[in-house]
């Protein structure tokens, strides 16, 4: 057992570092620095660079386009992309539906969808939650009725992130209304341009348009777009949730977030000292670093277990709970550190806008980000649901 990188791993780290320095899109960096909201094109520009290099889906099996990296290499990759402040890739294709398709899909589904996920040609969204089905996901009511070689789908989904850009969506629908809740659900891939699909924006607390309502009215979906068996969609859903949770720990990005807080707290003055020298404030930062270190080493232990063949199981709920709490504490401390200048609602410069920014740049979006990040303990199965999962699946209660 040791923490040192081997010479090969150091060489890999240097390669990754150099690649990012040379290839991260410069205009993307500019927009991030100015606190602009990012467009679909912005997200895709980095995605395409990585696809060209063959690094867009490190965790996928090599035969489907993965990199074959070791757990340590994947750790290095997430460290380096966070260190360079690279934007996060949209997870819906790469870490959600992609693994479901290569695990449960037919050869035709794999051939049709996986290359387009990797290339970024298809933008995916997730049709899970419904107005009446949040934490109790299995109570979902969107109906899919078989009609020849099609399903006819009717219902409403909500909290559908980035559906406004989506080409495809993966949906949980009820195919057997008489079966026990989890047993009557199927996993459908739906073309978002199909007649009967309507996407309406929901604006969240920070003013962002991230999530949407999706209405499905007599949408005809070919049966060949069902993944896995009819009424066995819950198996795919559970598999996907476990995958989603490991990524959700967000350790590398949170390390970067702590560094940003320290930068802010060194710039902000508190009497004749920097805010970071205030014993009350810095104790909160120290506790955050402590808990983040505990999360990092828990994730490293989990990755080591995975390398030995233990798949991500219910233990990944632990990573979700702690990771999401830490993400929230980071945004909370950043806002606290920003002081007065947390208040101005600054949404980036418009075209041809020559005005000066309001207050220090680092303060600009601390409040909207804090508001927005309340989502992390709610999405992906709320933290209360995660505790239920641990109690049932790990502790046998």
Give the residue numbers marked as catalytic: 244
Q: What is the DSSP string of 18-87?
A: HHHHHHS-HHHHHHHHTTPPPPHHHHHHHHHHHHHHT-S-TTS-GGGT-----HHHHHHHHHHHHHTTPP
47 vs 245, which CB is nearer to another protein?
Answer: 245
Closest to 325 measured CA to CA, from 268, 287, 270, 360: 287
| Length of the chain (residues) | 397
Residue pair 122/93 in contact (Cβ under 8 Å)? The answer is yes
Q: Is 9 in the site for another protein (CB under 8 A)?
A: yes
78 scored as a contact of another protein (CB under 8 A): no
Distance CA 181, CA 231 (A): 10
Tell me which DSSP letter residue 218 carries. Answer: E
* Residue 160 and residue 214 in contact, taking contact as beta carbons nearer than 8 Å: yes
Region 239-268 residues binding another protein, contact defined as CB under 8 A? 262, 266
- Asked whether position 203 contacts another protein by CB under 8 A, the answer is no
Interface with another protein includes 134 (CB under 8 A)?
no
Binding mask 303-342 for another protein (x = CB under 8 A): xx---x------x--x--xx--------------------
**Identity of the residue, 26 or 397, whose beta carbon is nearer to another protein in the bound complex:** 397
Q: How far is the CB of 169 from another protein (least distance, A)?
A: 32
Using rule CB under 8 A, residue 276 touches another protein: yes
Cα distances (Å, whole numbers) of residue 150 to 184, 207, 228, 254, 281: 17, 39, 15, 45, 59
Shortest CB 297 distance to another protein, Å: 4
Three-class SS state of 340: helix
Residue 312's nearest CA partner among 227, 240, 385 is 240
Shortest reach from residue 307's CB to another protein, in Å: 8
Burial (0-12, 13-18, 19+ Cβ within 10 Å), 52: exposed
Q: Considering beta carbons, is residue 62 or 395 the nearer one to another protein?
A: 395
378 binds another protein (CB under 8 A): no
Shortest Å distance, C-beta 78 to another protein: 13
Is 287 a binding residue for another protein by CB under 8 A? The answer is yes
* Size of interface with another protein, in residues (CB under 8 A): 50
Binding site residues, another protein, CB under 8 A: 1-5, 9, 72, 75, 262, 266, 273-274, 276-279, 282-283, 285-287, 289-291, 293-298, 300-301, 303-304, 308, 315, 318, 321-322, 384, 386-388, 390-392, 394-397
């Amino acid at each position: 057992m040791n923490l040192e990188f081997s010479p090969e791993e150091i060489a890999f780290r240097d390669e990754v570092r150099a690649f990012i320095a040379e290839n991260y899109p410069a205009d993307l960096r500019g927009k991030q620095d100015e606190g602009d909201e990012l467009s679909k094109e912005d997200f895709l520009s980095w995605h395409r660079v990585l696809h060209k290099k063959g690094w867009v889906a490190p965790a996928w099996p090599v035969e489907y386009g993965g990199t074959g990296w070791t757990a340590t290499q994947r750790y290095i990759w997430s460290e380096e992309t966070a260190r360079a402040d690279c934007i996060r890739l949209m997870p819906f294709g790469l870490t959600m539906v992609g693994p479901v398709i290569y695990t449960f899909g037919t050869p035709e589904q794999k051939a049709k969808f996986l290359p387009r996920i990797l290339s970024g040609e298809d933008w995916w969204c997730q049709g899970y939650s419904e107005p009446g089905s949040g934490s109790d996901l299995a109570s979902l009511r969107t109906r899919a009725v078989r009609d020849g070689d099609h399903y006819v789908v009717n219902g409403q989904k909500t909290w559908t992130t980035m559906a406004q850009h989506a080409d495809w969506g993966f949906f949980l629908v009820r195919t057997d209304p008489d079966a026990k809740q989890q047993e009557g659900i199927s996993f459908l891939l739906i073309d978002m341009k199909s007649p009967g699909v309507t996407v309406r924006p929901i604006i969240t607390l920070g003013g962002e348009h991230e999530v949407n309502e999706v209405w499905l009215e007599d949408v005809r979906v070919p049966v060949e777009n069902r993944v896995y068996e009819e009424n066995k969609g819950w198996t795919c859903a559970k598999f996907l949730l476990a995958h989603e949770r490991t990524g959700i720990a967000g350790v590398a990005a949170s390390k970067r977030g702590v560094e940003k807080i320290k930068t802010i707290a060194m710039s902000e003055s508190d009497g004749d000292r920097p805010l970071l020298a205030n014993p009350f404030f810095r104790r909160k930062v120290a506790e955050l670093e402590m808990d983040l270190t505990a999360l990092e080493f828990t994730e490293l232990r989990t990755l080591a277990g995975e390398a030995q063949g233990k798949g991500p199981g219910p233990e990944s709920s632990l990573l979700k709970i702690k990771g999401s709490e830490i993400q929230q504490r980071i945004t909370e401390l950043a806002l606290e550190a920003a002081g007065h200048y947390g208040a101005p609602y600054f949404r980036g410069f418009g075209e041809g806008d020559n005005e000066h920014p309001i207050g220090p740049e680092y303060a600009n979006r601390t409040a909207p980000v804090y508001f927005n990040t309340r989502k992390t303990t709610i999405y992906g199965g709320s933290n209360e649901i995660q505790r239920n999962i641990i109690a049932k699946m790990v502790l046998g209660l």
